[in-house]
C-alpha cells in the first residue's frame, strides 16, 4: 500500500566514514519530493569528514534533516536502534 503524503516517514541512516556517499544518499532521499519526511543520521564515531558534511546539510535542510546523533563504535545495528528510538514518523 502506498503511503499518503500526510504520513510522516522517518529514514534512519547509520554512518561510519561515509564521506564519499553520505551527501548523495541524503540528497537522493530529499529529492524524492515527499513532503512529510524526517531523516535521522546516526554517526558511529567516524574519523573522516562525514559528520561535518551532515551538519552542513542540517543547516541547509533544517525541516527535513533534523538530527545527527553520535554513537561510540556500536556498529550499524546499534545506530539503527538509536535512530528508531528518536524517530517520530508513522
Q: Check whether 58 has a pLDDT greater than 70.
A: yes
Calculated CA dihedral for residues 18, 19, 23, 28, nearest 10 degrees: -40
Residues 6+ apart with CB under 8 A from 22: 13, 15, 41, 50, 53, 54
For residue 4, the model assigns a pLDDT of 54
Q: Which residue, among 41, 55, 47, has the nearest Cα to 12 in the 3D structure?
A: 41
* Helix orientation angle between 22-30 and 50-60, rounded to the nearest 10 degrees: 20
Mean pLDDT in residue range 7-35:
92
DSSP lists the bridge partners of residue 15 as 43
Give the percent of the chain with pLDDT over 90.
46
If you average pLDDT over every residue of the chain, what do you get?
A: 87
Amino acid at each position: 500500500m502506498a503511503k499518503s503524503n500526510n504520513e510522516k516517514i522517518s529514514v534512519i541512516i547509520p554512518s561510519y566514514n561515509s564521506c564519499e556517499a553520505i551527501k548523495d544518499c541524503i540528497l537522493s532521499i530529499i529529492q524524492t519530493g515527499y513532503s512529510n519526511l524526517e531523516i535521522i543520521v546516526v554517526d558511529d564515531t567516524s574519523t573522516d569528514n562525514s559528520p561535518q558534511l551532515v551538519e552542513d546539510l542540517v543547516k541547509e535542510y533544517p525541516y527535513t534533516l533534523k538530527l545527527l546523533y553520535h554513537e561510540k563504535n556500536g556498529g550499524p545495528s546499534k545506530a539503527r536502534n538509536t535512530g528508531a528510538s528518536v524517530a517520530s514518523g508513522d
